Amino acid sequence: MGDKPAPSDGRKHGAASDPGARHVAIIMDGNGRWAKKRALPRSIGHQRGVEAVRRLVRGIDGMGLECLTLYAFSSENWKRSDDEVDDLMNLMRKFIKSDLPEFITNDVKLKIIGDWQSLAPDIVAMLEDALAQTANGKNTLAVALNYGGQHEIARAAAKAAALGEITADAIEAQLDTNDLPPLDLLIRTSGEVRLSNFLLWQAAYAEMLFVDTLWPDFKPEHLQQALDNFARRERRYGGR
């Protein structure tokens, strides 16, 4: 063994030969700028953002993904005006109502990450119902709601501590994403190059892609291009 500590397990940070992406996450940014460019209210940008989500979920079949994780509302987005927060929550209500039947038909398994239990009681009830109705789905659509990566890690560390073991593996086992495949690719739209508190732990060895497209303009073809880009990358995980 010499000076080498035991190698960390390959599952967490990828195997030697990486197949295609299993888990892609997207920071869906740019709804406001999309609307501003057209002199429309931000709420219209958010509506078009929901349409982009629907289009993507419909178009993702055949791309080989096991999980798509979408950042829909951050724990910092409460700082926006009451009107904008109301708009976003109402869009959430409408989206679940209108698209749940399609998720069930298309074998989509819904998952929610973040502190969603502290959202409005009617939204929590809708989400619980949607989770139950899609529990047997095949491919996962994970939606980050009232999500903050630092808080997720803190919650997971507290749970790990309560179980008596504060190691990276023990913390990881308590993350909201503990039942999802490792994150392969993290995409942010709208040209901003930052994580904004999204999947901080999970991004440790994810590939990143920042694209200028504003979220309402994002189409399944853009995701396919991102996956093609991902396939050309060499992941090293610190080894050679």
Pick the piece of the chain touching ligand IPE (CB under 6 A) from 4-12, 29-37, 54-62, 228-236.
29-37
Is 136 catalytic? The answer is no
Tell me the closest approach of the beta carbon of residue 175 to Mg ion, in angstroms: 24
How far apart CA 68 and CA 142 sit, in angstroms, is 6
User: Is residue 73 a contact point for ligand IPE (CB under 6 A)?
Assistant: yes
Q: Which is nearer to ligand IPE, 71 or 116 (CB)?
A: 71
Q: From the CB of residue 149, how many other CB atoms can be counted at a distance below 10 Å?
A: 24
Q: Which residue is nearest to ligand IPE (CB)?
A: 32
Q: Which is nearer to ligand IPE, 149 or 182 (CB)?
A: 149
Tell me the closest approach of the beta carbon of residue 32 to Mg ion, in angstroms: 6
Binding site partner of 196, from Mg ion, ligand IPE, none, Cβ cut-off 5-8 A by kind: ligand IPE
How far apart CA 172 and CA 157 sit, in angstroms, is 8
Binders of ligand IPE among residues 152 to 211 (CB under 6 A) are: 190, 192, 194, 196
Is 77 catalytic? The answer is yes
Binders of Mg ion among residues 27 to 66 (CB under 5 A) are: 29
Pick the piece of the chain touching Mg ion (CB under 5 A) from 23-31, 49-57, 210-218, 219-227.
23-31
Catalytic residue, candidates 29, 87, 176, 184: 29
Q: In this chain, which of 29, 87, 176, 207 binds ligand IPE, going by CB under 6 A?
A: 29
How far apart CA 216 and CA 13 sit, in angstroms, is 32
The secondary element (H helix, E strand) that includes residue 223 is: helix 220-231
What is the DSSP track for 138-172?
SEEEEEEEEE-HHHHHHHHHHHHHHTT--SHHHHH
One-letter amino acid for residue 65 of the chain: L
Structure tokens at 224: 């396919």
Ranges of H-type helices in 38-116: 42-59, 82-105
Structure tokens at 181: 């495949």
Q: Exposed, middle or buried: residue 160 (CB in 10 Å: 0-12, 13-18, 19+)?
A: buried
How far apart CA 135 and CA 125 sit, in angstroms, is 15
Catalytic residue, candidates 3, 9, 77, 99: 77
Give the interface size with ligand IPE as a residue count (CB under 6 A). Answer: 19
User: Is residue 30 a contact point for ligand IPE (CB under 6 A)?
Assistant: yes
Chain residues that interact with Mg ion, rule: CB under 5 A: 29
Catalytic residues, by residue number, are: 29, 77
Q: Which residues contact ligand IPE by CB under 6 A?
A: 27-33, 49, 71-74, 77, 88, 190, 192, 194, 196, 215
